[in-house]
């Protein structure tokens, strides 16, 4: 289990829930905290958890933070160098990667190279660099513990079954707030509409990704890397209430699932305390009131993000990076009110159509594709 944690993305949805678990259990020390630019929350977190190192990516925010915590014994750093320092700090045995987006790739890889146990929420890193991260983790003998709820569910199911071949991964999806609508009906949906997720309260980007089904697309690619399965063996099942967190089918036809009320603290705590389970207060599943579990197929016509993700994943090379980077750009533009809801998936499809794939890309290749793609989208669209 984790004794000393470096938490990357501490001010976000996953980050604050992680600190809530640590606050309640009082047996994990926090040695580093890192985030983007939220000075006030970072200051409060430093005062409560007393890390040796704090990083804000934004330089001006870090300078402000330095002044605010001048009375404390904490070193304040910034930028990518600061993130890398937080990811590799000597006293941390575990790094929890909960930064959002591709900016997390280098810190995640640095943490693995420094032989830290890695609890990973930051799915964009595996989607774009899974072919580098998984072998690197194996080489360094580093455990990679999924924090994404579906992948945690699969990981939990696989426990005790490692010697058995998996025949299918059944990845559950809530379908998001626009489930049941046609593409014509989602056209005029705004960011405010999309930010109302029925089951989970999460960061803005992943909430939009859940509405477009890009989140499930990213998760299919994430599962491919985490569990070394082919795309043909990953099936998405819509389960609107998020009671079943995912399932694994074995060669004898047995399907094993992990169920529970939707609470991200469970997968976070499971990754932190693995292989132990810690008591976690909160509502329990009550099958008498639940009575039925609704299941459906994904609507690939209304939500093309899922078939696009299979296409990107199967094509491989830099194509998953294009899928992800185009989405990161489009979600930011949608949140600013500059493009429509359906434009997000149209932009991903157009970027994929235009892209010439580089096979087996290096980290530099991946970051270059991202940089060039955002620059060209910005030029074309004037932002």
Of 242 and 345, which has the nearer Cβ to ligand NAD? Answer: 242
Helices 79-88 and 105-113 meet at what angle, rounded to 10? Answer: 30
Q: Show contacts with ligand NAD in window 108-167 (CB under 6 A).
A: 121-124, 148
Of 219 and 299, which has the nearer Cβ to ligand NAD? Answer: 219
Q: Does 334 bind ligand NAD (CB under 6 A)?
A: no
Q: Does 39 bind ligand NAD (CB under 6 A)?
A: no
Candidate ranges 32-40, 168-176, 238-246, 359-367; the one touching ligand NAD (CB under 6 A): 32-40
Which of the choices Mg ion, ligand NAD, none does residue 186 contact, using the CB cut-off of 5 to 8 A by kind? none
Q: Does 369 bind ligand NAD (CB under 6 A)?
A: no
Alpha-carbon distance of 208 to 46, in angstroms, equals 30
| Candidate residues 5, 6, 12, 229; the one interacting with ligand NAD per rule CB under 6 A | 12
Helices 319-335 and 123-139 meet at what angle, rounded to 10? Answer: 140
Alpha-carbon distance of 324 to 49, in angstroms, equals 34
CB 129 within 8 A of CB 369: no
Specify the residue for token string 């603290």. Answer: 265
Q: Is 299 helix (H, G, I), strand (E, B) or coil?
A: coil
Q: Please state the closest distance from residue 202 (CB atom) to ligand NAD, in A.
A: 3
- Cis status, amide bond into 313, omega within 30 of 0: no
Of 121 and 301, which has the nearer Cβ to ligand NAD? Answer: 121
| Candidate residues 124, 148, 209, 222; the one interacting with Mg ion per rule CB under 5 A | 148
Of 77 and 236, which has the nearer Cβ to Mg ion? Answer: 236
Q: Please state the closest distance from residue 268 (CB atom) to Mg ion, in A.
A: 12
Helices 319-335 and 363-381 meet at what angle, rounded to 10? Answer: 40
The pair phi, psi for residue 376, each rounded to 5°, is -75, -35
**What is the β-pairing status of strands 166-173 and 244-250?**
antiparallel
How many residues bind to ligand NAD according to rule CB under 6 A? Answer: 29
Candidate ranges 12-20, 88-96, 134-142, 252-260; the one touching ligand NAD (CB under 6 A): 12-20
Which of the choices ligand NAD, Mg ion, none does residue 194 contact, using the CB cut-off of 5 to 8 A by kind? none
Tokens standing for residue 372: 């060039």
Burial class (CB in 10 A: 0-12, 13-18, 19+), 369: buried
Q: Does 208 bind ligand NAD (CB under 6 A)?
A: no
**What is the β-pairing status of strands 244-250 and 255-259?**
antiparallel
Which parts of this chain interact with ligand NAD (CB under 6 A)?
9-15, 34-36, 38, 57, 83, 98-100, 103, 121-124, 148, 200, 202-206, 264
Q: Under the rule (CB under 5 A), what is the footprint of Mg ion?
A: 148-150
């Amino acid at each position: 289990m984790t004794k000393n944690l470096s938490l990357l993305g501490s001010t976000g949805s996953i980050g604050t829930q992680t600190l809530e678990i640590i606050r309640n259990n009082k047996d994990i020390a926090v040695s580093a905290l890192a985030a983007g630019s939220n000075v006030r929350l970072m200051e409060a977190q430093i005062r409560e958890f007393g890390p040796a190192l704090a990083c804000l990516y934004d330089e001006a925010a870090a300078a402000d933070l330095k002044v605010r915590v001048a009375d404390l014994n904490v070193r304040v750093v910034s930028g990518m160098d600061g993130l890398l320092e937080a990811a590799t700090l000597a006293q941390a045995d575990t790094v929890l990667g909960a930064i959002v987006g591709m900016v997390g790739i280098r810190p995640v890889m640095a943490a693995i190279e420094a032989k830290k146990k890695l609890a990973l929420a930051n799915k964009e890193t595996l989607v774009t660099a899974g072919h580098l991260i998984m072998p690197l983790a194996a080489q360094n003998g580093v455990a990679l513990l999924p924090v994404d709820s579906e992948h945690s569910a699969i990981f939990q199911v696989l426990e005790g079954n490692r010697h058995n071949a998996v025949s299918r991964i059944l990845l559950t999806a809530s379908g998001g707030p626009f489930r049941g609508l046609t593409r014509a009906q989602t056209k005029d949906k705004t960011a405010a509409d999309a930010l109302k997720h029925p089951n989970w309260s999460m960061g803005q980007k992943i909430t939009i990704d859940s509405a477009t089904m890009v989140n499930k697309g990213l998760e299919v690619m994430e599962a491919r890397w985490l569990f070394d399965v082919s795309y043909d063996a990953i099936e998405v099942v819509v389960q609107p209430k998020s009671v079943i967190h995912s399932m694994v089918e074995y060669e004898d036809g047995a399907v094993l699932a992990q169920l529970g009320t939707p609470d991200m603290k469970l997968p976070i705590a499971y990754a932190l305390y693995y292989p132990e389970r810690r008591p976690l207060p909160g509502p329990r599943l009550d099958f008498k009131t639940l009575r039925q579990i609704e299941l459906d197929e994904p609507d690939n016509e209304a939500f093309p993000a899922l078939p696009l993700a299979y296409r990107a994943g199967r094509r491989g090379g830099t194509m998953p990076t294009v899928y992800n980077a185009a989405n990161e750009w489009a979600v930011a533009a949608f949140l600013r009110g500059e493009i429509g809801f359906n434009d997000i998936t149209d932009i991903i499809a157009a970027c994929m159509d235009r892209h010439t794939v580089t096979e087996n890309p290096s980290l530099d290749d991946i970051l270059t594709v991202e940089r060039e793609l955002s620059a060209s989208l910005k030029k074309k669209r004037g932002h």
